[in-house]
Structure 1
């Protein structure tokens, strides 16, 4: 089994994309207190769980070989998160998801991080495909995928349950050759 581990961090024009670490404690606590939604799945719902999550929980996906949760840092501040998950090493596929702090949206960070991570995956692994799924109603996320060069492949009707019921999900794919 292989694991994703960007070392050194992935550098883009404005971002440092790196694993979360204990130095992020104050920022993550403030994000949770403000109820800003952009942290990876499994992030604590209460500030008291932040230290444990940053020490262990956020790294479980990487330790299992199934993916990695990474922080998007701009000017020394965590402004978002991007994750690889549902990785099938034998098939050469992985899925990507991302979120940006509400105060930092609209600045192109998600597209920049998505391109940086995609290039890193194709340069450092044998992955042949990165998949991205987005809620059909989330036009901002759909634009990010398209700007990053992901190809819209179809819509899965009522594929996921959201807070308000079933969601239609757009599936995008990016192949190694798409970035050439």
Structure 2
């Protein structure tokens, strides 16, 4: 397998991870108008761009074979977004990024979504490794990675540039064998702490 299916969806205990759809237009417009920071890279900055993004832009990553942008849905509401990106099929690796709406943080949605998508990836593709990167001072994202079972592998010094200067970046990795340590692997992350966006 060297591509992600158009209908890729994952169900976890509390969440549905599914492709963005034109029916999400009203919700995404509200998100943009209120400047809630959780949509993936490439999402429009203005409400006028929502229809085109939902029809085409949100699916370009999947069409390229390099990943997929998915909505995180809980109780019928879009509470966040999660993506696989930078996929190298020949190497068997991909990277994961996510964001949770500020009103829905503190409920463990990010780690539950990350773990759910990781399990799907290892069970349904030939990919063997998933990376997750977080700024060293982004403690919420570090907790998300750890709760989802990712292994801290090292720190890239001054590897990210933020508006207020360079940041160290912590690199985490997850292999399929890491999920088989227990019957259910790492916990689902429910009851967790705040989540913040981590996309490159």
Instruction: Give 1:164 deviation, angstroms.
Output: 1.3
2:114 aligns to what?
114
1:86 aligns to what?
86
Separation of aligned partners in 1, 2:62 and 2:170: 26
Gaps of 5+ in 2: 181-200
Separation of aligned partners in 1, 2:108 and 2:22: 26
Q: CA RMSD in A?
A: 1.1
Task: Out of 4-13 and 20-29, give the one that drifted further.
Answer: 4-13
2:174 aligns to what?
174
CA deviations on 1:21-63 (whole Å, 9 max, x unpaired) are: 1011011100000000000000001111000000000100000
Separation of aligned partners in 1, 2:163 and 2:36: 16
2:162 aligns to what?
162
Q: Secondary structure at 2:130's aligned position in 1?
A: strand
Separation of aligned partners in 1, 2:70 and 2:16: 10
Do the aligned partners of 2:6 and 2:62 also contact (CA within 8 Å) in 1? no
Q: Residues 103-142 of structure 1 correspond to what in structure 2 (within 5 A)? A: 103-142=103-142
CA deviations on 1:42-88 (whole Å, 9 max, x unpaired) are: 00011110000000001000000000000000011100000000000
Q: Which has the higher contact order (CA 8 A, sep 6+)?
A: 2
**TM-score (normalised: structure 2):** 0.88
Q: Residues 2-151 of structure 1 correspond to what in structure 2 (within 5 A)? A: 2-5=2-5, 7=7, 9-151=9-151
Instruction: Give 1:128 deviation, angstroms.
Output: 0.7
Aligned residues: 180
